[in-house]
Structure 1
């Protein structure tokens, strides 16, 4: 079990600053080479595709839209707008204005490296002053991945390995769990892969709804050297990644902090991995082609996404 000093040391020992040049904004996505993408295409053996995202719900009422709901959709029809429903004509239309707060514990989204700073620095040593409240980030924003993230995905079902419906809030996942999942599932994580971690929280959320608070299962900080050594390009989970509490008073979210700032590791938060896990078990195939296409929001630290796994 790494000590707090060990974890703080990861900012140096696991750093990818300068590894792909001083002007690099892609971070670990550099592990996804043309050969890796071709290998990912060869992982499609059945032609079956499934979504790994939660549906974005329309708010039930205006109060909820402004308080707890991460998505607010508004149909046009105010007094200054034309009536979109022309009952006396053959033609009509519908349109929406949507506001999203995608960071948090609800919506499926990708975090780009500018999402977090440590000691005033972002990935590759850039100062946090490059982030402006009006124009967003001028460094390592989500638009760095404008060409999409297409690679081989590997689902590691740790809930299945532990023979439980889901991990309890506060339970961490360790390298030994990852390697046991590889052994049981007959798969091995390779350079350039995206690793999706199933804790089973998706099942609990389907059955009981989203949990409150910030206690959750997820990656333990001890997985960071493992991910670095395996040259993983992207990680995802059915929670917001970090086990909470992390066990480290000085680093509340070490997977986010070390991953984004030091490693340039892109994160897929809040995936719904239940359909993916069921399909993998049915087909006996735990690797697949994963496609993630962030919306090209200029200067943003992430984007809502709908990751697609194709078996």
Structure 2
């Protein structure tokens, strides 16, 4: 499917840095960005979306190298290989009790690990969200602005799954296929749901099914949000977006901006992102129950100065 209306030009996408900007909207010292839209009232409404008591994970299991190595070999620039060193079992002298332990290290940004991006993850023209300079990111201590610890209290809001693969009647979107506002509104219509202020929108392209069946793709060509969806997300006042890919359709269709959704969302809008979700169980549960909204809970690890965190988003229906 292609957009029914005109696709924005590259200059128009660059214009989104101004027209969709939330700089100063919640004050000059704001680091939360669109998470300000998750008010107490929104959280209470999200609790009312729990109608069956069923909960599912929206994250991939993080394994020891192997699968991750295969996934990133073709693109070392996005390598995110966990290194899990499992220690041998240890026992007390009398062997009545023992324990197991491990040392885990990983780079979670990339194409495989489910993680949240905080606004300091990207810069544009040397600036981060709300006009702070990129120089606030220190190699030793991390970011002094809009780090993942801004969301230390967690993200609990209403989640809405928009299953575009299902709407298009395909098992999954092919790599390079973009998702446009028309797709989002058709998914709303077919699923009987409407995205509103403070919501988290999870986009299913079906890549999770392909990954379950064949393993990670290992490249950077992928289905995902087209840049033309950004004004729609801004108008609906979405607090968080997620996808079963790293968000942006690749190639983006624009020569001078590799990932326009990441760039505009994080830098201009302060829109937090959930990359690489596994939405298959969520989609199956939603279809079974006939319910496409739910309470979504995301609890980032409080890594000081970090531009994100591995997470296990939980959808409760």
For the superposition of Structure 1 and Structure 2, which TM-score range results when normalised by the shorter chain?
A: over 0.9
Q: Secondary structure at the match of 1:197?
A: strand
Q: Distance in 2 between matches of 1:60 and 1:225?
A: 40
Partners of 2:80 and 2:111 within 8 A in 1: no
Aligned to 1:264: 270
Aligned to 2:291: 285
Q: Secondary structure at the match of 1:259?
A: helix
Aligned to 1:71: 82
Q: Distance in 1 between matches of 2:151 and 2:220?
A: 29
The structural deviation recorded for 1:75 is: 2.7
Partners of 2:80 and 2:113 within 8 A in 1: no
Q: Distance in 1 between matches of 2:50 and 2:157?
A: 11
Q: Distance in 1 between matches of 2:306 and 2:57?
A: 23
Is 1:112 aligned with 2:118?
Answer: yes
How many residues of Structure 1 are paired with residues of Structure 2 in the alignment?
Answer: 304
Aligned to 1:300: 306
The structural deviation recorded for 1:212 is: 1.6
Aligned to 2:95: 89
Partners of 2:80 and 2:108 within 8 A in 1: no
Is 1:203 aligned with 2:214?
Answer: no
Q: Secondary structure at the match of 1:150?
A: strand
Map 1:111-260 → 2, pairs under 5 A = 111-260=117-266
Q: Distance in 1 between matches of 2:255 and 2:64?
A: 37
Instruction: Decide which of 47, 52, 55 is 2:53's aligned counterpart.
Output: 47
Q: 1:307/1:164 Cα in 2 relative to 1: closer, same or farther (>3 Å)? A: same
CA RMSD in angstroms, aligned pairs only: 1.7
The structural deviation recorded for 1:59 is: 2.9
Q: Distance in 2 between matches of 1:180 and 1:289?
A: 22
Q: Secondary structure at the match of 1:222?
A: helix
Q: Distance in 2 between matches of 1:73 and 1:60?
A: 11
Q: 1:177/1:69 Cα in 2 relative to 1: closer, same or farther (>3 Å)? A: closer
Q: Distance in 2 between matches of 1:60 and 1:235?
A: 29
Gaps (5+ residues) in structure 2?
Answer: 1-6, 74-78
What's the TM-score once normalised by structure 1's chain length? 0.95
Q: Distance in 1 between matches of 2:93 and 2:52?
A: 46
Partner deviation per Cα, 1:145-196 (whole Å, 9 max, x = no partner): 0000000000000000100000000000000000000000000001000000
Q: 1:211/1:60 Cα in 2 relative to 1: closer, same or farther (>3 Å)? A: closer
Partners of 1:59 and 1:69 within 8 A in 2: no
Aligned to 2:76: none
